[in-house]
Amino acid sequence: MSTQTSREALQALDRQDPLARFRDRFVLPEAVIYLDGNSLGPLPVGAAERAAEVVNEQWGQGLIRSWNTAGWFELPTRLGDKLGTLLGANPGETVVTDTTSLNLFKALASALRIQQVDGPGRRVIITERDNFPTDIYIAQGLADLLNSVTTETGVDYEVRLIDTQDELLAALGPDTALISLSHVNYRTGRMWDMPAITAAAHEAGALAIWDLAHAAGAGAGGPERGRRGLCGGLYVQVPQRRAGRPGVHLGQRPAPAAFLATALRLVVARPALCHG
Ligand SMILES: Cc1ncc(COP(=O)(O)O)c(C=O)c1O
């Protein structure tokens, strides 16, 4: 395979690029080529003006009325549906709320809460060593927090780090509470086999929580339309046998975090979402 690297060849490729016209939708300093889409992408044109309008008019003038008059109440689902079209989710399946880290904390805490009832001996969280660092810190912090306040079984919560799919499958067992993985690695772009791993986790009685940052549009392994529940940048899957059981339904659990409650409500309402 030959690689064309002359300036003319690259400019010709640029002219054929179907995404080239989107360059004008972003503000970038002169002569800067910016490839960082990870933590802080470039500023979209009009974003600064829109933010000023929200602060000055909706907040400054509308005050508390803006929850209704400016539609703040509906923003999580309205924005979620817009994002859902990129993710391949159906309307009503995606919610925009908080940050990825906060959502992950809520999802992990809620999933462990489910396992405290459904599988009290399950206290291991499996995640990847090369995961986004805060994803690991959140799992470790939650395990530490729970270990400092729960003593009833004498079994500590533990985060187990794996590197490969084989290691992951070998690590799944009767002590696994959940797996927490990022579908697309933020540095290398490596992608996990989400359907196969989720099915294996469910088979082992574990829950599967996926961080989908960087996954939108990244390949065929992503969420498929109508098949999965997506929430706030995270993807939460609950095996159907659990979702269908009365104990998992909202209101029959003491105060599950709102984030996972939303996901569970979706899953309970549409059991087809549960299959990986
Ligand atoms: C894969 C992944 N997970 C989690 C995060 C943390 O996101 P947040 O800062 O919104 O909590 C990032 C941030 O870039 C990320 O790339």
| Percent of the chain with pLDDT strictly greater than 70 | 75
**What residues flank ligand 1, with Cβ below 6 Å?**
38-39, 99-101, 132, 134-135, 182, 186, 211, 213-214
Strand 207-211 relative to strand 234-237, pairing: antiparallel
Ligand 1 atom closest to the CA of 103, numbered from 1: 11
What pLDDT shows up at residue 40?
Answer: 80
Ligand 1 centroid–CA 163 distance in Å is 20
With 60 as the cut, is the pLDDT of residue 242 above it?
no
pLDDT digits 0-9 by tens, 187-205: 888 999 988 999 999 999 9
Q: What is the pTM of this model?
A: 0.77
| Percent of the chain with pLDDT strictly greater than 90 | 45
Average pLDDT of the residues of the chain: 79
- Which whole-number Å values give the CA distances from 227 to 3, 78, 222, 223, in the listed order? 39, 20, 11, 7
What pLDDT shows up at residue 73?
Answer: 93
CB 202 within 8 A of CB 173: no
Ligand 1 centroid–CA 143 distance in Å is 20
Q: Of 43-47, 231-235, 238-242, give the range with the top mean pLDDT.
A: 43-47
The domain spans of the chain are: 22-71, 100-274
Report the DSSP beta bridge partners of residue 27: 43
Euclidean distance between the first and the last CA atom of the chain, given in angstroms as a whole number: 37
CATH number listed for the domain at residues 100-274: 3.40.640.10
CB 228 within 8 A of CB 237: yes
When pLDDT is cut at 50, 70 and 90, the band that residue 235 belongs to is: low
